[in-house]
């Protein structure tokens, strides 16, 4: 897989991840309210505190996964930049060599005109 494909794959993973997070948050909220709502004697403040704690934990996990994806994308970008630099240097050296050959051949030509 080349570096460009790596970046595209990373972006696709991030988009899929974002969709999963949205669905996951809604499912979590529904689950928490069903679980807590079935218990008698829990005040709304306690329900809210538990939900907040659960959401924070899930968000921390999500952030870690996004940071990993970002690191992978940055690594791919640096690899692409290094490859670009290598190709650029190769082209410069090659074109300098060709130009020196053209100049050498031009300077060493003897032109004779028919009499």
pTM (2 decimals)?
Answer: 0.45
Q: Phi/psi class of residue 65: alpha, beta or left (left: φ > 0; alpha: ψ in -120 to 50)?
A: alpha
> ∠ CA(15), CA(18), CA(23), 5° rounding?
130
Count of C-beta atoms within a 10 Å radius of residue 51: 16
Q: What is the mean pLDDT of each run of 10 residues along the chain (115 residues)?
A: 67 78 74 63 78 88 90 92 89 74 63 55
Give the per-residue pLDDT at 45: 83
Give the per-residue pLDDT at 12: 78
Give the separation between CA 87 and CA 79, rounded to whole angstroms: 12
Owner of token pair 């030509």? 109
Length of the chain: 115
> ∠ CA(70), CA(73), CA(75), 5° rounding?
110
């Amino acid at each position: 897989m080349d570096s460009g494909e790596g970046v595209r794959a990373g972006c696709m993973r991030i988009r899929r991840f974002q969709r999963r997070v949205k669905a996951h948050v809604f499912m979590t909220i529904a689950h928490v309210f069903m679980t807590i709502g079935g218990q008698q004697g829990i005040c709304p403040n306690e329900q809210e505190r538990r939900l907040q704690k659960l959401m924070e934990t899930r968000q921390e996990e999500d952030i870690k996964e996004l940071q990993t994806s970002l690191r992978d994308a940055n690594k791919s970008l640096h690899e692409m930049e290094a490859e670009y630099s290598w190709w650029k240097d190769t082209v410069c050296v090659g074109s300098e060599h060709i130009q020196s050959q053209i100049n050498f051949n031009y300077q060493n030509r003897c032109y004779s005109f028919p009499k």
